[in-house]
Amino acid sequence: MNHPKKERTFVAIKPDGIQRSLIGEIVSRLERVGLKLVAIKMLVANSGQVEEHYSQLDEKIRKYLIKYMTSGPIIAMVWEGAHAVKITRKIVGCTEPLTSDVGTIRGDYVLDSYAMSDEDGRAVRNLIHASGSPEEAEKEISHWFKPEEVIDYRLVQEEILYDVNLDGILE
Ligand code: GDP
Ligand code: MG
């Protein structure tokens, strides 16, 4: 089994996140917890890509999501680090911005709700997607990225996050 620090999650900044000028803020929140960015690209998704990405959702919501996710560019990313999936979901907050905790991305930067979006016949606008489980992450990473687009490299700060002995700090 891989060390927990090798866990990866798929994150996408949705079209509204880009239009709200929140790219830097979102990347910064994930960076500062200690996660490592191992893949990133901007793209305009097509309906087929979104349909497959959300294939587990019911048809009505999936239709809403195709319209939402193809409306403008998105940013697809892979983040790596200990408990990457759960840590990222904690920082992102729960699906509905109205009830997401204060301090989370969805709680702090959006005011949408199920009631309003359902009434208006559209997807809840919540800025960001993050995988719900390591299995979902694996599928989503291979759906959006070629293997060579995900980069294996070392960040110097990993020694502080994961090294057992913290050797080499004192001179
Ligand atoms: P997530 O993992 O927190 O993004 O939530 P889901 O995987 O359950 O749903 C995917 C996306 O569909 C959400 O992020 C919302 O954009 C949208 N969505 C989910 N549930 C609803 C709903 O009940 N009503 C509407 N209008 N949109 C929804
Ligand atoms: Mg989901």
Tokens 């990473």 locate to: 141
SS3 assignment for the chain: CCCHHHCEEEEEECHHHHHCCCHHHHHHHHHHCCCEEEEEEEECCCHHHHHHHCCCCCHHHHHHHHHHHCCCCEEEEEEECCCHHHHHHHHHCCCCCCCCCCCCHHHHHCCCCHHHHHHHCCCCCCCEEECCCHHHHHHHHHHHCCHHHCCCCCCCCHHHHHCCCCCCCCC
* % the chain with pLDDT above 90: 96
Judge whether 36 lies within some domain: yes
Q: How confident is the model at residue 167 (pLDDT cuts 50, 70, 90)?
A: confident
Structural domain of 124: 4-162
Averaged pLDDT for residues 157-168: 92
Q: Closest residue (by CA) to atom 15 of ligand 1?
A: 124
Longest CA–CA separation in the chain, Å: 63
Report whether pLDDT(23) > 80.
yes
Please give the Cα distance from 86 to 80 (Å, whole number): 12
The verdict on residue 142 lying in a domain is: yes
- Closest-approaching ligand to the CA atom of 61: 1
Within-domain flag for 153 = yes
CA of 94 to the centre of ligand 2 (A): 10
Q: Please report whether residue 169 resides in a domain.
A: no
Does residue 14 carry a pLDDT above 90?
A: yes
* Chain centroid offset of residue 124 CA: 16
With respect to residue 75, please indicate whether it lies within any of the assigned structural domains: yes
What tens digit of pLDDT does each residue of 67-101 get? 999 999 999 999 999 999 999 999 999 999 999 99
53 band by pLDDT with thresholds 50, 70 and 90:
very high
Q: Considering only residues 146 and 167, tell me which one the structure prediction assigns the higher pLDDT.
A: 146
- The answer to whether position 171 is within a domain reads no
Alpha-carbon distance of 88 to 159, in angstroms, equals: 21
Distance 167 CA to ligand 2 centre (A): 40
Catalytic residue set: 129
pLDDT score at 168: 84
How far apart CA 92 and CA 104 sit, in angstroms, is 5
Q: Are 162 and 5 in contact (CB under 8 A)?
A: yes
Domain assignment of residue 64, yes or no: yes
Note the pLDDT of residue 63.
98
Q: Residue 16 falls within a domain, yes or no?
A: yes
Q: Which residues line ligand 1 (CB under 6 A)?
A: 57, 61, 64-65, 95, 114, 117-118, 123-124, 126, 129, 132
Domain count, the chain: 1
Tell me how far the alpha carbon of residue 132 lies from the centroid of ligand 2, in angstroms: 6
CATH number of the domain at 73, please.
3.30.70.141
- Closest ligand to residue 122's CA: 1
Q: Which atom of ligand 1 is nearest to the CA of 68?
A: 16
Residue 107 confidence (pLDDT) = 98
Span 138-155, mean pLDDT?
A: 98
* CA dist., res. 16 & res. 97, Å (int): 13
Q: How far is the CA of 95 from the centre of ligand 1 (A)?
A: 6
